[in-house]
A = this chain, B = another copy of it.
Amino acid sequence: MSSIMEQAAKGVTPLIAETAKREGISEEFVRNGVASGRIVIPNNPIHGPVPCAVGDGMRIKVNVNIGTSRDMPLLDTELEKLSVALKYGADSVMDLSTGGDIDKIRRTIISKCGVIVGTVPIYQTGLTAARKNAVVDMTEDDLFNGFEMHAKDGVDFMTVHCGITKESVDWLKNSHRMTDVVSRGGSFLTAWILHNGRENPLYENFDYLLELAKKYEITLSLGDGFRPGCIHDATDGAQLAELMTLGRLVKRCRKAGVQSMVEGPGHVPLDMVPANMHLEKQLCHGAPFYVLGPLVTDIAPGYDHIVGAIGGAVAAQNGADFLCYLTPAEHLSLPDVDDVKEGLIASKIAAHVGDLCRRRDTELDDRMATARRALDWEKMFSIALDPDKARKYRERGCTEKEEGCSMCGDVCAIKIVDRYLEKK
């Protein structure tokens, strides 16, 4: 059977038509983007239809990471997070579970998730080996079998760290990095290459990975195992060597009819964010860019959702297509349900701010402005990203019920000017 990408080369499919409708953009634009690889629609048929286009000209999408760890292994907690993610408009959910019954957790999440699901299969493969003895004992078969198992469960896209190679590890060894490797998948493969003295199987046998991806319609998310882990390490040789490799792999994906996107940093000072976006678009031939953050300072643990929203908005303005959310718990612990909500809203803000720059899609903002001008609080709440929180704040302070709020009370600018201004 031909893949989503191959079908797009021939004409508009129902999946393309549906995503175009959701974007408010022409079917031909989406079709052309998918056929050329500048747009992806990650959708494993086993999962059922999850029509959502990511890439050139599409609205910026937001991913929510959930999943257990050894210290927080409960499925129910993760399902609560999933439900909050869906309620507040996540476009995609990644299950990064590393604790409890990982297979069961993944399958349950896929069955309950009406949006794109992603995973990083090497987490499971690596920790299985690590808990037996050491992560460097992973075999080539383990790696590909892990990928295929997730594919059979209906995962729509998977992160694969194919750009961690002997060559990029050499860049790492010669680097002046402060935090070497902060990607878990990246660390597994770096250790593996260093210990075994062999090339990364996901790179060496990339054709086999493409075969599997094609067979199951998996969108490859080419992982950034050497993404910088602090401001100091941003945009260095190790990062760029990997990115350049990923650019070459993007071409091979396209030739094989496999959808691909590229993952990006990480910790980057704000003024380097645009360059990072342009580099990816150029070196990776316009492939959709999926960024983690970027985090524009290192000194605000507990507030990295805000740090990531700053970087994410500027990234989105400059070409990023897909934002991985960050929660207040980042760098400190697994997020709880409240953290998931806070992180998602912060990323939704960043994505929308990017959309305002790239698509001039101001309808919602204009409706909010009109509601504010009319002091129509119910209308404001209905447009707000988080109506419940907005309502709670408004109701908190008002001792005298009236149109204004407790901020200005009786000296409300809008009401004062309304009384005297006649517009021409």
Residues on A lying within 8 angstroms of B by beta carbon are 69-72, 98-99, 123, 126-127, 130-131, 135-136, 172-175, 178-184, 186-188, 190-191, 194-195, 229-233, 269-271, 296-303, 305-307, 309-310, 313-314, 317, 328-334, 336, 345-346, 349-350, 352-354, 356-357, 362, 364-366, 368-370, 372-373, 380, 383-386, 389-390, 392-394, 396-400, 405-414, 416-417, 419-424
What are 17 A-B interface contacts by the 8 Å CB criterion?
Answer: A70-B399, A98-B409, A181-B417, A194-B421, A230-B368, A232-B362, A269-B353, A269-B356, A269-B362, A270-B313, A301-B389, A301-B390, A302-B389, A303-B386, A331-B405, A332-B407, A334-B406
Q: Which residues on B sit within 8 Å (CB–CB) of A373?
A: 178-180
How many copies of this chain sit in the oligomeric assembly?
2
- B190 with A421: CB separation less than 8 A: yes
- B306 with A346: CB separation less than 8 A: yes
- A190 with B232: CB separation less than 8 A: no
Known: A297-B365, A421-B180. A333 touches B413 (CB 8 A): no
Residue in chain B with minimal CB distance to A310:
B313
Q: Which residues on B sit within 8 Å (CB–CB) of A187?
A: 413-414, 416-417
- B300 with A365: CB separation less than 8 A: no
Contact of A349 (CB < 8 Å), options: B69, B303, B333, B417:
B303
Contact of A411 (CB < 8 Å), options: B126, B194, B411, B424:
B126
Q: Which residues on B sit within 8 Å (CB–CB) of A305?
A: 306
